[in-house]
Amino acid sequence: MSHLRRTLVVLAAAATLLEGAVPASAALITPAQLLSIPANQWVPMGNAAYYGYTSDTIAKPSHWDAIAFDRTTTATTKVNAARTSGFLGGFDPGTNVVIYQQYNKSGSNLYTYDLDTSIRTPAPGPINTDWWEFRPRISTSYITFLRDVYVHKKWRTRIYIYDRTTLGLTKLGTYPAGAIWNGFVGDQWVTWTVCRTTCTVYVYDAIAGGAPEAVPSAKSWPVYGPTIDEANGNLYYIRSGFGCGLKVNIWTVPVASLSTTPVKVAELPSGIDADELSLAPNTVSGQDLLFVRLRCKNNATDIWYVPQAVP
């Protein structure tokens, strides 16, 4: 199966925007561009020393590399090995180690790369197989990732969680191939997005276990691109109308109480969409909310942020 999952299947479908009442917002924060880089970028991540992202190139727009951008020197490092492609997955907290997908014609597996030592290491334990592993996320406690498998004469995508302490691997769900996008993993919470007739964010408590909980959405508006600020217990997500760049807003809600009325954090202009939220330290204080900004007229993407979304 192809490693490239077209973000937001609903973007390609023209439909009537559903109107309905939305809750009042706190003071909105105006997004700004984070990095100005030629070509397209996806999967923005960051820690105190680096930003990370996935980028194609002007010369080879179908070739993707996992890139680390030094926030002090502005130097860039290609994380994936020579003669491979790569998709970034995130930073191991408290380190300059990134997890990422590395693939070529032979297959796809997950690796970590230490930006301090330039050492590349296969992902631990039972994560890598002969199937197609992709879209990893990492926390101090867990690694989550997706795996494409062929079962009962159909391609399926499964999401797994790997416990870095017990070394156990648990399947969290199975979906039609291409219908799921990995979101966030912390030391308690896991998120992912499933897109069918609409897009729905699921939240899973890795400590308590049980069934994942869907994030409520008025009139089934698409909800996607989730991340979590575990320190303050808040989930952030994108909600839009049915169609590219229609009523695209960023919202937050307590992760342990998803039925609480959400608060709008930022809104995007008509014709602009977004995806793949993540948090990174602000240079002064608090955390910025990074996201992919998509221009609907040409499907071009770049990395923007909501400054100090977490004060």
What average pLDDT does the segment 52-80 reach?
92
Question: pLDDT tens for residues 9-46?
Answer: 333 333 333 333 344 556 899 999 998 888 899 999 99
Question: pLDDT tens for residues 231-254?
Answer: 999 999 999 999 999 999 999 999
Q: What is the identity of the amino acid at 15?
A: A
Above 80 in pLDDT, residue 82?
Answer: yes
168, two tokens: 């156990």
Above 50 in pLDDT, residue 2?
Answer: no
Q: Which helix (H) or strand (E) holds 69?
A: strand 65-70
Question: pLDDT tens for residues 89-103?
Answer: 999 999 999 999 999
Q: Is 218 helix (H, G, I), strand (E, B) or coil?
A: helix
pLDDT band for position 194 (cuts 50, 70, 90): very high
49, two tokens: 């020393």
4 within some domain: no
128 within some domain: yes
What average pLDDT does the segment 193-206 reach?
97
User: What pLDDT score does 5 carry?
Assistant: 30
Report how many domains make up the chain: 1
Distances from the Cα of 221 to the Cα of 21, 200, 216, angstroms: 12, 9, 9
109 within some domain: yes
18 within some domain: no
Q: Which domain CATH number covers 188?
A: 2.130.10.10
76 within some domain: yes
Q: Distance between CA atoms of 132 and 265, rounded to whole angstroms? A: 36
24 within some domain: no
23 within some domain: no
Residue 175: domain span: 9-13+30-310
3 within some domain: no
Above 80 in pLDDT, residue 217?
Answer: yes
User: What pLDDT score does 57 carry?
Assistant: 75
Tell me, yes or no, if the pTM score tops 0.85. Answer: yes
User: What pLDDT score does 11 carry?
Assistant: 36
**35: which strand partners?**
303
User: What pLDDT score does 25 carry?
Assistant: 57
